[in-house]
Amino acid sequence: MTAPSSGLGLGKLLLALDRTMVTLVEAPRGLDMPVGSVALVDADDVRLGLAVGAGSADLFFLLGVADAEAVRWLEQQFAGSGTVPTAIFVKQPTDTAVRRAVALGTAVVAVDPRARWESLYRLVTHAFEHHGDRDDRDSGTDLFGLAQSIADGTRGMVSIEDEQSHVLAYSASSDDADELRRLTILGRAGPPEHLEWIAQWGIFDALRAGGDVVSVAERPELGLRPRLAVGIHLPSTDARRPPAFAGTIWLQQGSAPLADDAEEILRGGAVLAARIMTRLAATPSTHAVQVQELLGLAGDDVDLAAIARELGIAVDGRAALVGFQGGPSAPTGVIALSASAFRADAQTVSTGGRVYVLLPKIGTPSSVMSWVRGVVAAMRRELGLTLRAVVAAPLGGLAGAAAARVEIDRVFDSADRHPGAIGQITSLDEAHTTVLLDEIVSHVAGRSRLVDPRVRLLRAEDPMLAETLRAYLDGFGDVAAVAKHLHVHPNTVRYRVRRIETLLSTTLDDPDVRLLFSLGLRATADT
């Protein structure tokens, strides 16, 4: 659930989302009803009775909930409660669902069937943060305001995308919006034949290469209207490196011709977009900063009670913190969507390629672990991404979140050094021994004077004996087990152990010697 926001009504939110993505069906209490939080309910939540209750959010996204189940859930959760949601968002609502929702006093918003819920969630939370009013947006500080300003000046329709062609902002759409624009705003990839044709003509290459405006011709057979585009390039802090490509501003022409100075406006827009994107990258939202403070990522003097009030979450109770890491960065928006569906009060923030989900109230730690397994499996299945996840649960309220985040980072750091040593999904308790030993060994490895020189000598002169010694120590001196591990006869192990003791002028019966050699062998394993 997002942080509460003031001054944002349902009508303003719908304007911010654009009719390409959502359509108001009914609003029995009008469009001025305030909204400031959103929760997600999926079919399994409804079926298993796990859905969040009345009063937990102003808006509900109903993901894959059938009409009959949606009606039953609405009436069971809200009838006679005195608290009803401002609106429900649902794909293809039927007359029955609309009539029952309106009877409760809840607005119904139809979501385009092709829209991605994670994209809608991202846009709604952005609207909460920026109060959702296009008229009040400053084109010098907000990408949505910039998109609308460019559209107004050029008489076209604008979308601003990042370097991976994900939509960051867009202007209002008219009836002249073509299929490529509509699908892009809905969070879907553009039609393959469109993108293939654009790539074939080297348009993407031209946008990455410089700041010139590129013209994209009309293709009536593809339903593709004329476009202009310009690349967004962030200036490099290193004079020896060229500006970095950060995205594209697309300007689609409608039925009216574009303004004569459309190219000039686009070039200026690209400069402003680069400034805004640079600022946004350096300055997280108020909500993100508050969650970062709870996790010890921003500021030292943290007022837990005050932040909890701002976020609308409980300070005390059984909490959990989950960390995700994968590839260059984990998909923050998709994880946030799933987290909010799992728990309406979930708080998600990302930093340094890692995503943290704070769950202020949980049932059993096993339920959290089940959810995490589902997220990791879905990311692999749907997006082809391999995520690593670490769970800290239960925590004694928000006070334990910052310390838990530090421990989660220790697990990730250890896994980065030794990817196979820690499971893909683990808890702090499960990883504790592995992480602590890894840190001790890393400390020893970084200080050569802490490694017994006899260990280095043995590795250099007889690697086979070094391997035998490592296996012997790890096997607690069980000759039969060590022989099986090394695929040799037990007498061979006994012979090698005697040779090692002779070469190193020591006895392996001494526990201090065994500990010293074991650490030394681990510390020099990769040297």
Residue 485's Cβ-side half-sphere holds a number of Cα atoms within 13 Å equal to: 17
Placement of tokens 């409608």 in the chain: 254
In a domain, 400, yes or no: yes
Q: DSSP string spanning 484-507? A: HHHTS-HHHHHHHHHHHHHHHTS-
Structure tokens at 24: 């108001």
pLDDT of residue 484: 92
Distance CA 396, CA 515 (A): 36
Residues 359 and 466 in one domain: no
The closest of 72, 79, 88, 73 to 25, measured between CA atoms, is: 88
Residues 150 and 261 in one domain: yes
The DSSP symbol for 303 reads -
Residues 76 and 206 in one domain: no
Residues 155 and 277 in one domain: yes
Chain centroid, CA 220 distance in Å: 38
Residues 228 and 158 in one domain: yes
pLDDT of residue 238: 66
> Of 242, 257, 282, which residue sits at a domain end?
282
In a domain, 417, yes or no: yes
Whole-structure pTM over 0.85, yes or no?
no
Distance CA 131, CA 7 (A): 7
Residues 290 and 435 in one domain: yes
Residues 152 and 240 in one domain: yes
Number of domains in the chain: 4
Q: DSSP string spanning 15-68? A: HHH-TTTEEEEE-TT-S--B---EEEEEHHHHHHT----TTS-SEEEEES--HH
Residues in the chain with pLDDT values less than 50? 1-6, 54, 132-138
CATH number of residue 243's parent domain:
3.30.450.40
pLDDT of residue 404: 95
Cβ neighbours of 362 (radius 10 Å): 19
Tell me the pairing of strands 318-325 and 347-351. unpaired
In a domain, 135, yes or no: no
CATH number of residue 369's parent domain:
3.30.70.270
pLDDT of residue 100: 86
Residues 349 and 423 in one domain: yes
In a domain, 2, yes or no: no
Q: What is the CA radius of gyration of the chain?
A: 29
In a domain, 3, yes or no: no
pLDDT of residue 188: 67
Residues 267 and 292 in one domain: no
Domain ranges, residue 370 = 286-439
Residues 409 and 294 in one domain: yes
In a domain, 136, yes or no: no
Residues 297 and 373 in one domain: yes
> Of 439, 461, 496, which residue sits at a domain end?
439
Distance CA 190, CA 96 (A): 34
Amino acid at 345: D
What's the CA dihedral at 260, 262, 267, 270 to 10 degrees?
Answer: 170
CATH number of residue 29's parent domain:
3.40.1390.20
Residues 207 and 278 in one domain: yes
CATH number of residue 477's parent domain:
1.10.10.2840
> Of 130, 161, 177, which residue sits at a domain end?
130
